[in-house]
Amino acid sequence: MAEGSGASGAPWQVAIVGSGPSGFYAAEALFKSGLPVQISMLERLPVPYGLVRSGVAPDHAKLKQVIDVYSRIAEMPGFEYYGNIRVGNDVSVGELCEAYDAVILACGAEADKPLGIDGESLAGSHTATEFVGWYNGHPDFRDRVFDLSHERAVIIGQGNVAADVARILARSPQELAHTDIAEHALEVLRTSKVREIFVVGRRGPAQAKFTSKELKEFGELEECDASIDPAELALNEASAAEIAGAGNAGAKRIVEIFSGFAARPPGKARRRVVFTFQKSPARIEGDSRVRNIVLEHNVLSGAPMNQSARGTGKFMSLETGLVFRSIGYRGIAMPGVPFDPRSGTIPNLAGRVVAEGQSVPQIYVAGWIKRGPTGIIGTNRADSVATVASLVADLPKLSAAGGKSGFASLRSLLHGRGTRPVSFSDWKRIDAAEVARGANLGKPREKFTYVREMLALLA
Ligand code: NAP
């Protein structure tokens, strides 16, 4: 382990870009390394916590409790939070490398994968990211418009994000009223005419990506039934082998939960969520807006755990005014940093950014921008620990180690560019104001959904 930061005895200066789980777990790992370290966490929004604030569904309050862990890290000596700074825009990664000994990019995967089919950009066809950001009050999506006047919504993809989108459409307004859902979204959801929500998988029930806890919730909603055609649960030989495999208990449990839904007598709830399998979207049709979606039936082929879907040339059509694609996130390139557009990640070896097989000095990655958009919140802890292990091993070898001035040298540069950094104590004022706004509505918080509102509060 590196012991100090050179003759000056000053701490090592590390910038972490992004304030979501992987950023905070990287900070935690740096503190645990025993290095004398000064951490600047830079976040493009004034408010911290990334997807825990703006991705985790409002009805999953327990998952958000992890914020208590992050805020304890933020209060540790040697940690500073600077919100409202967009790295790549307000300050470049090159400038960070001049001011810091090391930079960890933990900026997540903010874009969506496209389906690449006709009609994808019609009005009424949305990404899950937009909808999730909208109901969670993310400033980027505050002014998106979702027309919920149609009876049927179709969601493409069977991962946990699709589950979140389906559940928020399926829940009654009373179930959401006392969550931290953004009030502008709740108002629209109160008038929703959506009665039927199709959740479409391109492969079979054994390959759905839901986790069992999230899937089970569809059997427990107040005003919504879960529905499956039992014939769709027939497994081919490879899928039967998959769920019999010792390492695949999760998929076995998912198939059991689906079977439980299929065995229920038809319910009488106001809404129903329909899970359907082995269908891929072929095109979305409509003139000025979505009118229906055409799905192609698939067959599965390949060895167990490696099956892929292939179209059969047989199609079906679902009338709908609302389509969400929820087929995974993608990272966005950071100016001046290598990027693999195929995977939407920054190429790296054990967290060290690499270009043409050589590691790029000082720059590291953690979280979804490092490994792609997989895993749950806790998955990021081990990922960040691994990155920090690489960084700690490298620090003594960095030629410019020690003596860097960290945020002190950025402050005037940012000021000159008209950027006003938001500190952690500023955030706590925003936090208190949000909690107070929420109390008036019987909610744990009512978020500010425009950056200008957040900054006005601090002015
Ligand atoms: P995901 O788990 O990777 O699911 C993506 C889904 O889209 C899969 O069903 C996939 O099918 C399908 N898909 C991909 N490309 C497709 C295409 N071209 N056409 C049709 N379907 C396609 O992604 P996610 O739901 O965005 O979740 C991202 C991560 O966040 C996951 O690790 C998830 O568990 C996590 N998350 C967790 C929670 C929670 O813990 N409550 C909540 C939200 C998200 P194939 O399997 O065939 O590729």
Atom 31, ligand 1: residue with shortest CA distance: 374
Question: Cα(407)–Cα(415) distance, rounded to whole angstroms?
Answer: 12
96 Cα to the center of ligand 1, angstroms: 33
Pocket around ligand 1: residues whose beta carbon is below 6 Å from it? 115, 156-162, 164, 201-203, 207, 209, 211, 214, 280, 326-329, 373-376
Candidate of 62, 160, 276, 383 to mutate for ligand 1, largest count of ligand atoms within 8 Å of Cβ: 160
Q: Any residues with CB less than 8 A from the CB of 124 and at least 6 apart, and which?
A: 147, 150, 286, 289, 290, 321, 322, 323
pLDDT profile of the chain (459 residues), mean per 10: 53 96 98 95 98 98 97 98 98 97 96 95 97 98 97 98 98 97 98 98 98 97 96 97 93 98 91 98 97 98 97 98 97 96 96 95 97 95 98 81 85 94 98 97 98 97
Stated pTM of the model: 0.96
Q: Where are the alpha helices (DSSP H) in 49-208?
A: 50-54, 66-74, 93-99, 128-135, 160-170, 173-176, 183-190
Atom 9, ligand 1: residue with shortest CA distance: 158
159 neighbors 210 (Cβ within 8 angstroms): yes
Structure tokens at 392: 């700690």
427 Cα to the center of ligand 1, angstroms: 32
What are the backbone dihedrals phi and psi of residue 166, each rounded to the nearest 5 degrees, phi first? -65, -40
Q: Chain centroid to CA 324: how far?
A: 16
pLDDT at 10: 83
Strand pairing class (102-105; 12-17): parallel
Structure tokens at 302: 């390949």
Question: Cα(76)–Cα(39) distance, rounded to whole angstroms?
Answer: 10
Helix 21-32 to helix 66-74 angle, to the nearest 10 degrees? Answer: 50
Candidate of 202, 258, 307 to mutate for ligand 1, largest count of ligand atoms within 8 Å of Cβ: 202
Domains and their CATH numbers in the chain: 7-109+330-422 (3.40.50.720), 114-327 (3.50.50.60)
Structure tokens at 303: 């060895």
pLDDT at 2: 40
Query: Letter for the amino acid at 370?
Result: K
Candidate of 130, 158, 371 to mutate for ligand 1, largest count of ligand atoms within 8 Å of Cβ: 158
Structure tokens at 279: 């269908």
197 neighbors 170 (Cβ within 8 angstroms): yes
243 neighbors 265 (Cβ within 8 angstroms): no
For ligand 1, what atom is nearest to the CA of residue 375? 32
For ligand 1, what atom is nearest to the CA of residue 60? 41
Q: How far is CA 293 from CA 181, 252, 314, 439, 459, in A?
A: 29, 30, 14, 42, 48
254 neighbors 206 (Cβ within 8 angstroms): yes
Indicate the helix (H) or strand (E) that contains 345.
none
Structure tokens at 269: 């709830």
98 neighbors 399 (Cβ within 8 angstroms): no
Atom 29, ligand 1: residue with shortest CA distance: 374
pLDDT at 356: 92
117 neighbors 446 (Cβ within 8 angstroms): no
For ligand 1, what atom is nearest to the CA of residue 211? 34
Structure tokens at 85: 């700074």
Candidate of 120, 161, 164 to mutate for ligand 1, largest count of ligand atoms within 8 Å of Cβ: 161
25 neighbors 366 (Cβ within 8 angstroms): yes
Candidate of 112, 113, 209, 326 to mutate for ligand 1, largest count of ligand atoms within 8 Å of Cβ: 209
Structure tokens at 147: 């027309």
For ligand 1, what atom is nearest to the CA of residue 379? 32
Give the number of C-alpha atoms closer than 13 A to the C-alpha of residue 412, restricted to the C-beta side: 3
Give the number of C-alpha atoms closer than 13 A to the C-alpha of residue 17, restricted to the C-beta side: 28
Give the residue among 92, 96, 111, 95 at the shortest CA–CA distance from 41: 96
Atom 22, ligand 1: residue with shortest CA distance: 327
Count helices and strands (H / E) in the chain.
16, 18
For ligand 1, what atom is nearest to the CA of residue 158? 9
Radius of gyration of the chain (CA): 24
179 Cα to the center of ligand 1, angstroms: 24
- For residue 160, the SS3 value is helix
